[in-house]
Amino acid sequence: MLPTKQPRRSSLNFVPAFVDKVASAPSIWNIPVSTAETSDPVIVRCEHLGRVLRFEDKDKVLIADATFDVRTGEVLAIVGPSGSGKSSLLRLLNRLDEPTSGTVFVDGADYRQIPPQELRRKLGMVTQRPYLFPGTVGKNLRFGPSQRGINMTQEAVDQILLEVGLKGYAARDIAKLSGGESQRVSIARSLANSPLVLLLDEPTSALDELSKREIELLIQKIVREQKLTCVLVTHDRAQASRLAQRAILLDAGHIAGIGPVDELLHA
Amino acid sequence: MLRLLFSNQLQLGMAQAGIASLAAMMVVLLARKRGINLVSESLIAMARAIVQIVAVGSILVLLLRGPRWTSGFCLAGMMLAAGAISSRRAKGIPGAFRISAWAIASGAGSVIALMAWLGVIDMAITSLLPVGSMLIANAMNTNGLALNRFRADVIAHAGEIETALALGASPNSSITPYVQASFEASLIPAIDSLRSLGIVWIPGLMAGMLLSGARPVYAAIYQFVVLAMIFAASGLTSLVSTLLIRGQIFTSAEQLLLQPGG
């Protein structure tokens, strides 16, 4: 079960250079750590999560002491400049990398107690590049369920494709897809696993402006219609504002602030 | 031409080795001009080869006159050395030497043992050692190719592999295409050798058998026997190697260890 007492990280003991340069928001440190929507149940809780690598007798901090909640049905944005540890944090969340300290509770259970394959099905991930498998769109959608011995029906495949705006694409070869379509297939492929939380790692950074807006609308639609919880990594503050309710500001692997997205990013 | 210059066989051999080495070095230098640096590796390999073969040649007479059981020790030593050499193609993969040694021992070793027991390879040390060494050497090459291809493919497709893991695939399932590709690629030389036998190349063993008075048809058939054994030994080695290596590139939490730039 989740610990009843949820430790809070002080937001005042660390001064991030990133915020000074980019945010032009001197009042940012007055924003309380975690806020408001306390009525929503916590679905993912990171507790003192950290990853430090040792290179040539020097420690490189990728993520340090990250403590935060993800609440059911919300979109939580992780924002920060390039190299601040956004993707590293996301990889720790579905345990593609191993934390060197702390842990993550998923639906109340320590994720080290959950078999990795089950954990990763629960925390679906969409990467910057879609990495589609050779073959048809339908084959890609069936991949995840087939790993658990589930053979998706054609109707189920068509339904998910309809939801992501790719009606009639099941038999199409992935080589014939545009960048935006490939990313839609990538999202659909994760949705086929019925995840509890969708982790989105810069899902639009490799797309043109039009495709980017289309994917954003798709994410908004999925969140609205399926009440899906999302953790969105983005370097784009405007995108975070458009899609997320809360945001985490990362700087050099440290959490520099957590709060409602409008207050945190536009203060 | 060299034979006109050198009447002494040892001097002739050294001159021939020098010219052959020069030809090899010219290729290495040409490759270097195209940005492929193999100079030090090639120089060390050639120096090692000449020292090793001269050393073995010097003691071969003693070995071949020794008791039959010594061939087992010699072949075991060759398999360990082959494992150590081919494991260098798997840089960054933990346990590569252990896996290579096991793969070569179970691939080449089992084929040698079975064929010797069935009488396909003569148990005499003069036959067992040279034919066994051919099987081990080819198994070593196949193992090196398999490991090299596997490592390169995994690093090049780390994104695809981690995507499969992120979709709930098991480690084995996520790397199946790369295991298959490395197995197939490693067997290309053995398959091509079988295909081209008698057309593109006539093995030295056949020439030796003919010179020692064997019937030409039997000498020819035995070449096929040797190549078929090489194929069996190489294939089994690659199969074992690619099966064992799968477990080495993931952590117990099913995280990919081999990463680009890692």
pLDDT digits (tens, 9 = 90+) for A151-183: 999 999 999 999 999 999 999 999 999 999 999
Instruction: Tell me the nearest-neighbour CA distance from A159 into chain B, angstroms.
Output: 19
Task: Tell me the CB-side half-sphere exposure of residue A145, using CA atoms within 13 A.
Answer: 17
Q: Check CB contact under 8 Å for A133 and B166.
A: no
**CA dist., res. A254 & res. A256, Å (int):** 6
Q: What is the pLDDT of residue A36?
A: 38
Q: What is the pLDDT of residue A267?
A: 61
Closest residue to B253, CB basis, from A95, A129, A144: A95
Q: What is the pLDDT of residue B178?
A: 94
Q: Check CB contact under 8 Å for B253 and A189.
A: no
Q: Check CB contact under 8 Å for B164 and A121.
A: no
A121 interfaces chain B, CB cutoff of 8 Å: yes
At A84, give phi and psi (nearest 5°): -85, -10
Query: According to DSSP H, which parts of A70-178 are helical?
Result: 86-93, 116-122, 137-146, 154-163
Q: Check CB contact under 8 Å for A143 and B165.
A: no
Closest residue to B255, CB basis, from A96, A127, A131: A96
Residues of B in contact with A121 (CB under 8 A): 167-168
Question: Which of B153, B161, B167 would you mutate first to test chain A, the one with the most A CBs within 10 A?
Answer: B167
For B169, the closest chain A residue by CA position comes to A147
Residues of B in contact with A51 (CB under 8 A): none
Q: Is the pLDDT of residue A5 over 90?
A: no
Instruction: Tell me the nearest-neighbour CA distance from B177 into chain A, angstroms.
Output: 11
Strand, helix or coil for residue A257: strand
- Scanning B172-191 for CB atoms below 8 A from A yields 173
Residues of B in contact with A148 (CB under 8 A): 168
Write the pLDDT tens digit of every residue in A95-141. Answer: 999 999 999 999 999 999 999 999 999 999 999 999 999 999 999 99
Q: What's the Cα-to-Cα distance from B218 to each of B21, B127, B203, B206, B209, rounded to whole Å?
A: 35, 16, 14, 9, 9
Q: What mean pLDDT comes out for the span B30-35?
A: 86
For residues B259 and B183, which has the higher predicted lDDT (pLDDT)? B183
Q: Check CB contact under 8 Å for B254 and A127.
A: no
Q: What mean pLDDT comes out for the span A41-47?
A: 93
Confidence grade of residue A16 (pLDDT, cut at 50, 70, 90): very low
Instruction: Tell me the nearest-neighbour CA distance from A25 into chain B, angstroms.
Output: 37
Question: What is chain B written as a DSSP string?
Answer: -HHHH--SHHHHHHHHHHHHHHHHHHHHHHHHHTT---HHHHHHHHHHHHHHHHHHHHHHHHHHHS-TTHHHHHHHHHHHHHHHHHHGGGTT-TTHHHHHHHHHIIIIIHHHHHHHHHTSS-SSHHHHHHHHHHHHHHHHHHHHHHHHHHHHHHHHTHHHHHHHHHTT--HHHHHHHHHHHHHHHHTHHHHHHHHHBTTTB--HHHHHHHHTT--HHHHHHHHHHHHHHHHHHHHHHHHHHHHHHHTTSB-TT--B---TT-
Q: Check CB contact under 8 Å for B159 and A129.
A: yes
Q: Check CB contact under 8 Å for B168 and A147.
A: yes
For residues A159 and B17, which has the higher predicted lDDT (pLDDT)? A159
For B167, the closest chain A residue by CA position comes to A144
Q: What is the pLDDT of residue A39?
A: 64
Residues of B in contact with A98 (CB under 8 A): 251, 253, 255
Q: What is the pLDDT of residue A9?
A: 36
Q: What is the pLDDT of residue A57?
A: 80
Closest residue to A121, CB basis, from B168, B173, B251: B168
Average pLDDT over chain A reads 85
For B158, the closest chain A residue by CA position comes to A131
Planar angle of CA B3, B5, B8, nearest 5 degrees: 70
Q: Which of A138-142, A188-192, B3-7 has the lowest mean pLDDT?
A: B3-7
Q: What mean pLDDT comes out for the span B153-158?
A: 95
Residues of A in contact with B254 (CB under 8 A): 116-117
Average pLDDT over chain B reads 89
Residues of B in contact with A143 (CB under 8 A): 164, 167, 169
Q: Is the pLDDT of residue B48 over 80?
A: yes
Percent above pLDDT 90 for chain A:
72
Closest residue to B168, CB basis, from A97, A120, A131: A120
B37 interfaces chain A, CB cutoff of 8 Å: no
